[in-house]
Amino acid sequence: MSYNNPTTGSGSGTARGRFEFGRTHVVRPKGKHQATIVWLHGLGDKGSSWSQLLETLPLPNIKWICPTAPSRPVALFGGFPCTAWFDMGDISEDAPDDMEGLDASAAHVANLLSTEPADIKLGVGGFSMGAATALYSATCRALGQYGNGNPYPVNLSAIVGLSGWLPCSRTLRNRMEGSHEAARHAASLPILLCHGSGDDVIAHKHGEKSAQTLSAAGFRNLMFRTYNGLGHYTIPEETDEVCAWLTASLGLEGSRSY
> Catalytic site residue 108?
no
C-alpha to C-alpha distance for 53 and 29, rounded to whole angstroms? 14
Domain of residue 166: give its range: 22-250
Confidence (pTM): 0.91
pLDDT at 126 over 90: yes
Q: Is residue 8 part of a domain?
A: no
Is 258 part of a structural domain of the chain?
no
CB 250 within 8 A of CB 34: yes
Residue 253 has pLDDT above 90, yes or no: no
Domain assignment present for 170: yes
Amino acid at 170: R
Whether 61 maps to a domain, the answer reads yes
Q: Point out the catalytic residue in the list 199, 204, 206, 249.
A: 199
| Mean pLDDT value across residues 172-179 | 86
Least confident of 3-7, 18-22, 80-84, 164-168: 3-7
**CATH for 183:** 3.40.50.1820
Mean pLDDT of 113-127: 97
pLDDT exceeds 90 at position 132 = yes
For residue 255, being part of any structural domain is answered with: no
Residue 10 included in any domain = no
The answer to whether residue 199 is catalytic is yes
71 — pLDDT class (breaks 50, 70, 90): very high
Catalytic residue among 48, 49, 215, 232: 232
Which one of the listed residues 12, 128, 157, 249 is annotated catalytic? 128
Q: Is 70 exceeded by the pLDDT of residue 185?
A: yes
Statement: residue 177 has pLDDT above 60: yes
What torsion do the CA atoms of 149, 146, 85, 155 make, to the nearest 10 degrees?
-150
How would you label 217-251 residue by residue, b for 16+ Cβ within 10 Å and e otherwise? bbbeebebbebeebebebeeebbebbeebbbebbe
Asked if the structure places residue 211 within a domain, the reply is yes
Domain count, the chain: 1
Query: Is residue 148, in this structure, part of any structural domain at all?
Result: yes
128 is catalytic: yes
